[in-house]
């Protein structure tokens, strides 16, 4: 594995950043996770555009233009000879002084890692997973807009720990008003009367690239999608439920907080969308 750091490639064992990097010290930076399918970087322009929107939102100047970033990502994929895999692009505030003042950071640092990812064992894609509701609430949108993919994921990590302690692989997070937001690393959908419903962005849901792809695929099947205010009741009483994300792709949910969803098996709509997604990618 070779890692891209500021225009140069380093062996995995030699890739390093300074202990004074504000991404390390304070989680000050942004990132994107991107898939590679059959020698093609999936939705590259969309991911790069979102990366730059995240950076713009936190006043972080990326030292590459968007087209340069796309070329750097493609080059890193090529150097690592990856036909299928996962890309993690990080932009940190860069090296600075101790203290949170970002003005001491003279130049942002760009890191591109190409490797593999398998969030869930294959059997769960076929049979579905069980999730729980985390006690840890999503950071309110008026404190940090969920459309910013920042390096500070402690809120999500705490919820993930709750899921693991409950014997589950994932947890759904609520916002401070009690509405469904998202899971620790995935968007969440439910199916009701043959139509898709997902939490509205103002409830703390990330504007997911895979989520958007699923909405497009559903539209091709004349399946309507709605952004809505969802509660746990809506999850518990849904006909089907599934999660979407770059790492997770589309994975069915068959039980939430001990409640069986639908028949307790991946539903027809979910399986149809999974098949369409695999054909699309």
Residues forming the active site: 149
Tell me the C-alpha distance between 22 and 97, whole Å.
Answer: 8
Given the structure tokens 């703390």, which residue do they identify? 204
Torsion sign, CA atoms 74, 76, 79, 85: negative
Q: CA–CA distance from 163 to each of 47, 121, 135, 206, 209 (Å)?
A: 28, 16, 10, 20, 24
Contact 96, 20 (CB under 8 A): yes
Helices (H) and strands (E) in the chain, counts: 8, 15
Tell me the C-alpha distance between 152 and 11, whole Å.
Answer: 26
- Residue 236 sits at the vertex; the CA angle it makes with 235 and 238, to the nearest 5 degrees, is 65
> Comparing C-alpha atoms, which of 17, 15, 27, 22 is closest to residue 157?
27
Which string of DSSP letters, residue by residue, matches 122-172? Answer: HHHHHH-EEEEE-SSPPPPTTTS-TTS-BS--HHHHHHHHHHHHTT-SEEE
């Amino acid at each position: 594995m070779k890692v891209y750091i500021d225009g140069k490639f380093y062996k995995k064992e030699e890739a390093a950043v300074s202990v004074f990097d504000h991404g390390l010290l304070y989680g000050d930076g942004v990132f994107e996770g991107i898939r590679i399918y059959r020698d093609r970087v999936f939705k590259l322009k969309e991911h790069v555009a979102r990366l730059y929107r995240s950076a713009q939102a936190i006043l972080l100047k990326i030292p590459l233009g968007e087209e340069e970033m796309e070329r750097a990502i493609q080059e890193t994929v090529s150097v690592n000879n990856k036909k299928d895999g996962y890309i993690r692009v990080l932009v940190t505030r860069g090296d600075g002084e101790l203290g949170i003042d970002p003005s001491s950071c003279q130049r942002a640092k760009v890191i591109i890692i190409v490797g593999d990812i398998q969030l869930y064992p294959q059997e769960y894609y076929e049979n579905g997973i069980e999730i729980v509701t985390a006690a840890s609430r999503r950071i309110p949108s008026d404190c940090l807009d969920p459309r910013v993919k920042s390096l500070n994921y402690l809120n999500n990590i705490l919820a993930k720990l709750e899921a693991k302690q409950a014997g589950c692989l994932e947890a759904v997070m609520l916002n401070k008003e009690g509405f469904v937001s998202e899971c620790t690393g995935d968007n969440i959908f439910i199916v009701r009367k043959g139509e898709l419903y997902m939490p509205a962005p103002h409830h703390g849901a990330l504007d997911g690239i895979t989520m958007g792809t699923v909405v497009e695929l559903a539209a091709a099947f004349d399946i309507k999608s709605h952004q809505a205010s969802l509660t746990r009741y809506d999850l518990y009483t849904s006909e089907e439920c599934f999660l979407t994300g770059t790492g997770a792709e589309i994975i069915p949910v068959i039980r939430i907080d001990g409640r069986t969803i639908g028949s307790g098996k991946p539903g027809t709509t979910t399986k149809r969308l999974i098949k369409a997604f695999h054909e699309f990618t």
